[in-house]
Amino acid sequence: MFKIGYRTVKTAIGVTLAISIAQLIGLNSFPSAGIITILCIQVTKKKSLYAAFCRFVACIIAMLYSTIFFEGIAFNPVVIGLMLLVFIPTVVKLNVQEGIVTSSVIILHIYSAGHVTPQLILNETGLLVIGITVALIMNLYMPSKEKEMKHFQESIERDFKVIMEKMVLYLRTGQSDWDGKELLSVMDHLAKGKVLAYRDVENHVKYYDDVFYQYFIMREKQFEVIENMLSFAAKIPSPNPYSAMIANLIEEMSEHIHPYNTAYIYLNKLENIKEEMKKMDLPLTWEEFNVQAELFHLIREVEKYLVLKNIYKGFSRKKRGMKTEAVT
């Protein structure tokens, strides 16, 4: 069973409206208004505005060049080729190359007419304005992605919790039967969440608080740190009092993984652990030296994880109606 998306529906309605309007006011080649609408309906409002701008500018240049080349030289296929040799570099230089396809339609309309007249230019301009206007109106509606982004956010936080719990288990017992599937899940959901969040930002023409996009960026950086934490934790051969202290902190962190931000509480607790570790006896063997080195590496990564959250501005608690609590 195939699925009809909202963009497909908007395109179908937009093409119908554009062609109907162009035909109603008596424009020649009125189906071209529908083609312009199809090309201007994009996945986000900003992209739609940019596409409309590119096509409008490119088409104006196309009509100007068509007048110069066709009326100045001849209505001949060779002249079309010569004109394109000049036209395409011009629109590329102006960074409106997205309008090449649309403007090519206009060029061929003028070529088919066999003569450039004010009426022809007005006709082509009318097709262009109708097609672009209808597309922009259709793109005023963009469904909210907040529900989907929230789903990925919650999934990532659940996976973070599981990953940390498995790390805690290993630090305390030196054993683990974890298959690591949550790592793959986090990577997938981070990628999908970032795409949705970026589209959400692009759907707001004026200033928009891109809190979800910044959230996924922050979690992506934290995930890289978590991978390092797992690597260092795996090199600690056996449980010891200091690994247990770190495990207790990570366990507490795992119980408060949310989008809100009071990570400074855990940074303070981490400083206490670092002070305790300064009291460690100097290693007597190479193995003890390696264990201490990995413990310090692990603490450094835990600190990086918390600092990333601490500098993240986070979601508004008042807006979301959430209670204040320590979170990571």
Distances (CA, A) of 280 to 276, 277, 294: 7, 5, 14
Shared-domain flag, residues 153 and 129: no
| Claim to verify: residue 203 and residue 91 sit in the same structural domain | no
Residue type, 280: M
For residue 285, what pLDDT is reported? 65
pLDDT in tens, 200-227: 777 765 655 678 888 899 999 999 999 9
Has residue 326 been placed in a domain? no
> Which of the four pLDDT bands, split at 50, 70 and 90, describes residue 1?
low
The last residue of one of the domains, among 77, 106, 138, is: 138
Residue 274 belongs to what domain range? 146-320
Q: Which of 87, 109, 138 is the last residue of a domain?
A: 138
- Domain assignment of residue 242, yes or no: yes
Domain count, the chain: 2
Residue 314, in any domain of the structure: yes
* pLDDT band (50, 70, 90) for residue 238: low
Mean pLDDT in residue range 166-187: 88
Residues 186 and 110 in one domain: no
Say yes or no: 164 and 284 in one domain.
yes
pLDDT of residue 64: 93
Residue-wise pLDDT for 259-305, tens only, equals: 766 677 778 888 887 777 777 666 566 666 677 788 888 889 989 98
If one counts every other C-beta atom within 10 angstroms of the C-beta of residue 289, the result is: 12
Helix axes 45-72, 181-202, angle to 10 degrees: 60
Same domain for 152 and 127? no
- Provide the 8-state DSSP code for 322: P
- Same domain assignment for residues 238 and 258: yes
Give the percent of the chain with pLDDT over 70: 87
Considering the domain architecture, whether residues 168 and 284 belong to the same structural domain is answered as yes
Higher pLDDT, 320 or 135: 135
99/194 same-domain check: no
For residue range 143-170, what is the model confidence (pLDDT) as tens digits?
Answer: 777 888 889 999 999 999 999 999 988 8
Percentage of the chain modeled with pLDDT above 90 = 30
Cα distance from N-terminal residue to C-terminal residue, the chain: 42
Question: Is the domain of 93 the same as that of 225?
Answer: no
The predicted-structure confidence for 80-125, as pLDDT tens digits, reads as follows 999 999 999 999 999 998 888 888 888 988 898 888 888 999 999 9
- Lowest mean pLDDT segment, chosen from 98-107, 129-138, 190-199, 262-271: 262-271
Give the mean pLDDT of the chain. 83
Q: Cα torsion at 253, 256, 258, 264 (round to 10°)?
A: -60
Do 292 and 283 meet the contact criterion of CB atoms below 8 Å apart? yes
Give yes or no: residues 274 and 301 share one domain.
yes
Is residue 64, in this structure, part of any structural domain at all?
Answer: yes
Contact 75, 108 (CB under 8 A): no
Final residue before a domain boundary, out of 82, 109, 138: 138
Within a domain: 1: no
CATH number at residue 181: 1.20.120.940
Question: Which tops the pLDDT comparison, 196 or 207?
Answer: 196
Q: Is residue 230 located within the same domain as residue 125?
A: no
Residue 124, C-beta contacts closer than 8 angstroms, at least 6 positions apart? 59, 63, 106, 109, 110
Kindly state whether residues 133 and 248 are assigned to the same domain. Answer: no
